[in-house]
Structure 1
């Protein structure tokens, strides 16, 4: 009886060892790398057939030799965070998605809207897509994964989900001074949130918050029209006018010089409405409200980078000092008189 049990356990041990060795020698992820390198070999061989330049041919041959003898290996990104390897923890922040998704060119093409801001080697994949980044088999790696944008938006059951993502992005960033508030203009897909336009907001808020809406429509919504009639704006060059656009338009983009709307409309303070507008559309207005109340613009209006700071109109003051035919107080609201006087004093003192 003992011999039979020993024989049975020996067979089980042998089979287990065989399966383990087989998996170690031919892991499931290897087939993706094999397919990738085979495809690259074909591409380089095709280039060689059509190339005539000797120097280019030599370089292609060197590249081909490397591709024909690839090193199949686990590729991982060690991410920043409390549980990173750097802190001698258990490596929960390791992301191994690129072991299978090895074609960086293809990834960059399919993620062209976010890869500039969130490079894979810093932020990994799971912060947006979910899943378990450390796992190497497809079943576990793709557990609770959100593959496409539509699936990503389905995870937005409440505002806490997007808050958690913003916090995670801040944690992963290499810049220690970055806070989660710096990512508040990002959607659940990592892309820049879209400005939806004040018309969409006013469909509901014209009735819900009528006094507030009417006050802003009469004054702030019209601010762009007011500055367009100002003599310094008319005489100023494009660079001068862009300093006006930063505050008196909504959704101004410094890189492109474009903006979403003229005037200081709803999203100028509450931030782009794509995310909180989504909650409004699915009947979760309170969740959308939480996001709209803490957007970046809403919190920095009077900060050093915001619109309401003491030196914002300094260029305008200089213009009116040089053009005595215009009265600056015709172009500044009475409540800004103190600001103008302070700015004049600063200019006199050469600050």
Structure 2
């Protein structure tokens, strides 16, 4: 065999092998096997439910589901993510997330992710936290640069900019409100860590280790006025008499880190993190000796005391339920007004009656 024929034979063989691989990937891609496994599992599950079904209507509905699982339509599943992405910005066109093409079992995903209520897959996708290449369909390419576990994500936090980029991406992906004043910005996501979970409240004692010396006048005043506010709330007659729903309205503002879903909170009273936010990321930088990065984190979302920091508690209608209670039940108004609103307390000594104000009316 001449050299030319040998080269032709080798090149032809390589072309044939390459074409075969391409055709296999094109017409029988690897992701199909994951969908086949999923539909097979679901079919077996529904078969059991169908056999145990008692009513005709139930069997009819399960029969339709079973038929769809036995004759599934395989295809690429993707989420079109919000935001502007273009080649001009060195970004890959419209940003899509195709992870659910293989990770098709949504129930399993929800079971392994506790934050799907805040960040549903169909809006935020997977790559915002896990990294990787969401557009890719091959397993190797899709998982390139991926962070599988929370610990791997946490190790990415080398500086404040890492968190800023993450929070900014969450803000970009979030659907816009029609009212511009209600639209979320980077600072609104400060309560989340790099894993997408709610940031941990580290407790005021950790803050005070440094700040009791660095900012002593502020700390002393806050400890005296706000740290112990819940102690007084617990003694209030309306709190004692109130039901669970009534008490929850008190807990929202008179505790730190209150979670409406679980009803739990980090600390009693209005402590450091009630205004500055959960200190997990800030404390992390301080612990590893990156104080400047910690300062950057601390300033996000609190500069100039914006409404979203103070407003949820410091608004005029926050105590309406208390007004109603005291007007209906009677009793001294000293339990209604805080100690520093001295002119409003009818029982305050040394004040002429004309100078004092009674409980306001509810309209």
How far apart are 1:101 and its partner, in Å? 0.5
| Matched residues, number | 343
Match of 1:105 among 104, 107, 111: 107
**For 2:239 and 2:261, how far apart are their aligned partners in 1?**
21
**For 1:247 and 1:52, how far apart are their aligned partners in 2?**
51
Task: Give the TM-score of the pair, scaled to structure 1.
Answer: 0.81
- Residues 86, 93 of structure 2: 8 Å contact kept: yes
- Residues 78, 96 of structure 2: 8 Å contact kept: yes
Q: Which residue pairs with 1:267 in the alignment? A: 273
Q: Which residue pairs with 1:174 in the alignment? A: 175
Q: Which residue pairs with 1:94 in the alignment? A: 96
How far apart are 1:69 and its partner, in Å? 1.5
Provide the alpha-carbon RMSD of the alignment: 3.8
- Residues 271, 298 of structure 1: 8 Å contact kept: no
Q: Which residue pairs with 2:121 in the alignment? A: 120
How far apart are 1:123 and its partner, in Å? 0.6
**For 1:81 and 1:18, how far apart are their aligned partners in 2?**
38
Q: Which residue pairs with 1:283 in the alignment? A: 289
**For 1:321 and 1:41, how far apart are their aligned partners in 2?**
62
Q: Which residue pairs with 2:202 in the alignment? A: 196
- Residues 193, 199 of structure 2: 8 Å contact kept: yes
Asked if 1:149 corresponds to 2:172, the answer is no
Q: Aligned pair in 2 of structure 1 residues 336, 11: CA closer, same or farther (>3 Å)?
A: farther
Q: Aligned pair in 2 of structure 1 residues 84, 31: CA closer, same or farther (>3 Å)?
A: farther
Q: Which residue pairs with 1:307 in the alignment? A: 313
Q: Which residue pairs with 1:130 in the alignment? A: 131
Task: Give the TM-score of the pair, scaled to structure 2.
Answer: 0.78
Residues 309-335 of structure 1 show CA distances to partners (whole Å, capped at 9, x for unaligned) of 455456667878899974659944457
Runs of at least 5 residues in structure 2 that lack an aligned partner in the other structure: 178-182, 347-353
- Residues 76, 98 of structure 2: 8 Å contact kept: yes
How far apart are 1:77 and its partner, in Å? 0.7
- Residues 225, 263 of structure 1: 8 Å contact kept: yes
Match of 1:23 among 14, 22, 25: 25
Q: Aligned pair in 2 of structure 1 residues 182, 330: CA closer, same or farther (>3 Å)?
A: closer
Residues 165-184 of structure 1 show CA distances to partners (whole Å, capped at 9, x for unaligned) of 11111111122422222212
Runs of at least 5 residues in structure 1 that lack an aligned partner in the other structure: none
- Residues 270, 297 of structure 1: 8 Å contact kept: no
Q: Which residue pairs with 1:294 in the alignment? A: 300
**For 2:253 and 2:260, how far apart are their aligned partners in 1?**
11
**For 1:127 and 1:19, how far apart are their aligned partners in 2?**
32
Q: Look up the SS of the partner of 1:19 in the other structure.
A: helix
Asked if 1:159 corresponds to 2:165, the answer is no
Match of 2:230 among 220, 224, 227: 224
Residues 55-97 of structure 1 show CA distances to partners (whole Å, capped at 9, x for unaligned) of 4334333322221221121111111110289xxx954410000
- Residues 301, 307 of structure 1: 8 Å contact kept: no
**For 1:97 and 1:330, how far apart are their aligned partners in 2?**
54
Q: Look up the SS of the partner of 2:228 in the other structure.
A: helix
Residues 155-174 of structure 1 show CA distances to partners (whole Å, capped at 9, x for unaligned) of 11112111111111111112
**For 2:339 and 2:308, how far apart are their aligned partners in 1?**
17
Q: Look up the SS of the partner of 1:286 in the other structure.
A: helix
Q: Look up the SS of the partner of 1:276 in the other structure.
A: helix
**For 1:188 and 1:37, how far apart are their aligned partners in 2?**
33
How far apart are 1:187 and its partner, in Å? 1.2
Q: Look up the SS of the partner of 1:219 in the other structure.
A: helix
> Is 40-49 or 311-320 further displaced after alignment?
311-320
